[in-house]
Amino acid sequence: MRDRVGRVILVATVALGLCLGWSLPVAATGRPGTEAVIHGNTAKWLIANSKDLGAAALGEQVTLLIGFNYVTPADMPALPTFIQDTVTPGNLYFHAYLTPRQFVATYDPSPTAVAALSAYLASYGITTTVTYANRLEATGSVGQVEQALSVAINAYQFGGHSYFANQQSPSLPTAYTYDGVSYDLATMVSGVSGLLTYNALHTMTVNRSQLPAVSGATPCSSDCSSPQGYSPQQIASAYDATSVQNSGVTGSGVTIAIATLAPLLSSDAQAFWSYYGIHRTGTLAQVSVDGAPTNTSGAGQGGSESSLDVERSGAMAPGANIVAYIAPNTNNGFVDLFNTVVSQGKAQVMSTSWGLAEQFETQGYATLLNQAFEQGAAEGMSLFAASGDYGAYDAYPQYKAPAVDSPASSTYITAAGGTTLPQSAAGVALAPGVNVGPTTEAAWGWSYLVPYYKLFGVPSAQRMKQLVYPVGSGGGYSVYFNQPSWQNGFQSTGQRGLPDVALNADPFTGYAIYDSSSVYSNSTDPWSNGWGGTSFAAPQWAGITALLDQATGAPIGLATDVFYHLPPSGGTVSGFRDISSGNNWGYSASAGWDPTTGLGVPDVAELAAAISAYNHP
C-alpha cells in the first residue's frame, strides 16, 4: 500500500510541480519542500484490532473536515486564559463573553491562511469549502487525498462495521507559498475528520429489559398507555429545584440547545409536558444540520433519545426556549452539529447524549469536537454531555481495559454521570416482587444487583454478573485530554477525569419516554417505560443550568470551572450533595470528587445561592 502511494505521489506531484514552476527541492515522498506530521490523526487501537481488507479504491470519494489551531491576538489573552477569566470574579473579562462574530475575528486564523490550505489541496484536485467561519470542508478521491496528505488509506472491518482509515497521520508542507506569503500548513491544522469513516456513535440510554432475567420486562412493562418511574416533579423535588421553580425562576430568557443525531416530533414533547401538567412558556424549535430531517418520526431512528432530551430539559426549565439541532449520524455530522450550535450563538446552555469510546476515534477528531466546545465556552455557554452507561469500561466488550466516553471527556464540556435513587422515591420496584437496592442515593452500577440473583431467577451470582456487567455511570480518565486546572486539588492523575456531576440514571429507578413512533410504542400507546442512562442526567442538568442562569442573573459560562471553584461544603463543594457509596465497576464512590459521580448531585437552591455568592465576593 505504501509503495502504491509513493509511486502515485512521485509521478503526480513532480508533474504538477513542473507545471507550477516549483523551485523548492522535492522531498522523499515526492512533495515540494519540507513537511511535518500532524500527530494524533490515526485510530491506532481500532486499526490494530480490525481486519485489513487492503487498499481502498483510488476513486472512492472522501469528505474531510479540517480544523485550525486557534491563534492568540496581540491584545487579548490566549483562548484558555480568556475562558477562565470569563468565569473568575473580579477579572477584567469576567462575564465578558464573545459573540460568534467576535470569536471568529479574535481567535480564528486569518481567511488568507485558510485560503492557503485550500489552494494547496486544490492543487491536487480536491475541492474545498470554508464552513463555520474558518473551518474547511474538503472533498476528493482517495487517491487525491493520499497524495495531498501523504497517507495510505485502507479498507477495514471491525465489529460488523466496514470503514476506511489512514495508516499514518497526515503530513503537510511547512513552507507553502500562497499569494507571495509562506505558510506553515502543518502547524496551522489542529485535526482532521473524515480520514477515518468508522462510526459507532450511539445514545446513552439503558432499559431495564436489557437484563433478560427480568421476567416479562419490556420497555412498555405491562402498559404503554401510561408512564412509570420518576415524574419531572419528583426529580425536581429530589434535587431541590422545586423551591427555585416556585419562586418564579423557570429558565425564562435562557435558550437550551439539544444537540442530537435523530429526528423527533415536537408534538410528542408537547404531549409529555401536558400529561405531567408542566406549564411551558418557553418555545420549541428545530434546526437541521447538513440536511438532516426535522420534526419527523420513524421507528428505529433514535428519536426516543431526542424526545427524552427535549422533554426532560423542558420540564426542568419550563420557561426556557429549546432549540433541537439535528444532524446526520456520521462523524462529520457530529462535528458539524456542535459547530452549528456555537456558530449560531442562540443558546446559553447545550446538552448532548451521543458519543463513543475514545478508542474508536482519533485524537485529532476529539480535538475538533473540543474546539467547538471551547468556542462555546468563550461565548458563555454551559455545555453538558452524558458520560456513558458502561461504567469504567466504555469500550466494552471490544476493549476490556478502562475507557471513557467522548465527547464527555472533552475539556470544555461538563460530563454528567449517573446515580441510583432509592426505589421508594421512584415508587417502582426492580421487577414484579423484587424491591431491593440502595437505601440512599448511590453511584449507579448494576453490581448491586448481583447478590439478588435468585430473585431474578438466575442460577448463580457469576451468571448474574455476566448479565449486568459493566452497566453503570460512565467515569474514569481520558487518554486524550490532560487534567484541566479546575480539577487540581480534586484528583492528581494528570488526565481529564470524569464525570463532573451526576443525577439519577438507573433504569430500575428510572423514567418514561413519550415517543409516539418508537420501536416500542405507537400513537395509541405512546409511552415506553423502564428507561435510564446518563442520557437523562445531561439534559436535566441543562435544565438546571437554565434555572441557575436566570437565578444568578447571567449565563454562568464554563460550568465545570465554576462548580469546582465553589467553596468546600459537606465533603464536596457548596450546592452539591456528595455521593460516597456505590461503584461503576472500576471505581468506587468516595468522599469528594470521584470518577463515578464527580462532585455529586445538585441541591439546586443551594447551588444557585452558592454561585451568586461566588460571583459577588
Residues 378 and 242 in one domain: yes
Measured between alpha carbons, how far is 171 from 152 in angstroms, rounded to an integer?
A: 11
Helix (H) or strand (E) holding 511: strand 511-514
Residues 206 and 187 in one domain: no
Out of 151, 168, 193, pick the residue that ends a domain. Answer: 193
Query: Is the confidence at residue 17, as pLDDT, over 50?
Result: no
Out of 193, 223, 250, pick the residue that ends a domain. Answer: 193
Residues 278 and 164 in one domain: no
| 17 in any annotated domain | yes
| 530 in any annotated domain | yes
Out of 167, 193, 219, pick the residue that ends a domain. Answer: 193
Residues 577 and 491 in one domain: yes
Amino acid in the structure at residue 450: V
Measured between alpha carbons, how far is 383 from 560 in angstroms, rounded to an integer?
A: 9
- Write the DSSP assignment of 212-248 as a string of letters: TTSTT--TTTT-SSS--S--HHHHHHHTT-HHHHHTT
Measured between alpha carbons, how far is 609 from 415 in angstroms, rounded to an integer?
A: 22
> Residue 25 gets which letter from DSSP?
P
Least confident of 15-24, 335-344, 427-436, 580-589: 15-24
110-118 long-range Cβ contacts below 8 angstroms, 24+ apart: 110/71, 110/134, 112/178, 112/179, 112/181, 113/68, 113/183, 113/188, 114/68, 115/178, 115/179, 116/176, 116/178, 116/179, 116/181, 116/183, 116/185, 117/66, 117/172, 117/183, 117/185, 117/188, 117/189
pTM to 2 decimals? 0.93
Burial 426-445 (b: 16+ CB within 10 A, else e): bebebbeebebbbeebbbbb
pLDDT digits (tens, 9 = 90+) for 339-363: 999 999 999 999 999 999 999 999 9
Average pLDDT over residues 116-142: 93
Residues 161 and 255 in one domain: no
Residues 184 and 221 in one domain: no
- Write the DSSP assignment of 289-316 as a string of letters: STT---S---TTSSHHHHHHHHHHHHHH
pLDDT digits (tens, 9 = 90+) for 147-179: 999 999 999 999 889 999 999 999 999 999 999
Give percent helix, percent strand, percent coil of the chain, each to the nearest 5.
35, 25, 45
Which residue, among 251, 300, 220, has the nearest Cα to 549 in the 3D structure?
251
Cell numbers given for 48: 490494530
pLDDT digits (tens, 9 = 90+) for 384-404: 999 999 999 999 999 999 999
Residues 172 and 211 in one domain: no
Q: Half-sphere exposure (CA, 13 Å, Cβ side) for 341?
A: 35
Q: Is the dihedral of CA 177, 179, 184, 187 positive or negative?
A: negative
Residues 172 and 288 in one domain: no
In 363-436, the DSSP E strands lie at: 382-386, 405-406, 414-420
pLDDT score for 435? 61
Cell numbers given for 203: 445514545
Residues 40 and 120 in one domain: yes
Q: Do 440 and 390 touch, CB atoms closer than 8 A?
A: no
Residues 53 and 139 in one domain: yes
Q: How many CB atoms lie within 10 A of CB 312?
A: 28
Cell numbers given for 242: 422545586
Query: Is the confidence at residue 427, as pLDDT, over 70?
Result: no
Measured between alpha carbons, how far is 236 from 220 in angstroms, rounded to an integer?
A: 24
> Residue 403 gets which letter from DSSP?
B
Measured between alpha carbons, how far is 156 from 164 in angstroms, rounded to an integer?
A: 6
| 101 in any annotated domain | no
More confident residue, 446 or 131: 446
| 529 in any annotated domain | yes
Q: Half-sphere exposure (CA, 13 Å, Cβ side) for 373?
A: 27
Q: How many CB atoms lie within 10 A of CB 281?
A: 11
CATH of residue 453's domain is: 3.40.50.200
CA angle 97, 98, 101 (to 5 degrees): 165
pLDDT score for 299? 64
| 565 in any annotated domain | no
More confident residue, 440 or 23: 440
| 502 in any annotated domain | yes
pLDDT score for 24? 30
Q: Phi-psi category of 278—alpha, beta or left, where left has phi over 0 and alpha has psi -120 to 50?
A: beta
Measured between alpha carbons, how far is 436 from 430 in angstroms, rounded to an integer?
A: 7
Average pLDDT over residues 569-579: 96
pLDDT score for 135? 86
**Percent of the chain at pLDDT exceeding 70:** 90
Cis peptide before 293 (omega within 30 of 0): no
Count the domains in the chain. Answer: 2
| 616 in any annotated domain | no
SS3 263: coil
Please report which confidence band the pLDDT of residue 424 belongs to, taking 50, 70 and 90 as the band edges: low
Measured between alpha carbons, how far is 287 from 442 in angstroms, rounded to an integer?
A: 37
Measured between alpha carbons, how far is 506 from 510 in angstroms, rounded to an integer?
A: 6
Could you list the residue range(s) of the whole structural domain that residue 140 is in?
2-71+108-193
pLDDT digits (tens, 9 = 90+) for 238-275: 999 999 999 999 999 999 999 999 999 999 999 999 99
pLDDT score for 21? 32
Residues 369 and 436 in one domain: yes
- Alpha carbon of 572 to those of 269, 430, 569, 575, 593: distances in Å? 35, 30, 5, 9, 7
Measured between alpha carbons, how far is 580 from 502 in angstroms, rounded to an integer?
A: 12
The crossing angle, in degrees rounded to 10, of helices 142-149 and 2-20 is: 80
pLDDT score for 209? 81
Q: Do 571 and 591 touch, CB atoms closer than 8 A?
A: yes
Burial 572-605 (b: 16+ CB within 10 A, else e): bbbbbbbbbbbbbbbbebbebbbbbbbbbbbbbb
| 83 in any annotated domain | no
Query: Is the confidence at residue 225, as pLDDT, over 70?
Result: yes
| Mean per-residue pLDDT over the chain, rounded | 90
pLDDT digits (tens, 9 = 90+) for 467-518: 999 999 999 999 999 999 999 999 999 999 999 999 999 998 889 999 998 8
Residues 124 and 176 in one domain: yes
Measured between alpha carbons, how far is 426 from 511 in angstroms, rounded to an integer?
A: 9
575-579 long-range Cβ contacts below 8 angstroms, 24+ apart: 575/602, 575/603, 575/604, 575/606, 575/607, 575/608, 575/609, 575/610, 575/611, 576/501, 576/600, 576/601, 576/602, 576/603, 576/607, 577/441, 577/601, 577/602, 577/603, 579/419, 579/441, 579/442, 579/443, 579/502
Q: Is the dihedral of CA 112, 118, 121, 124 positive or negative?
A: negative
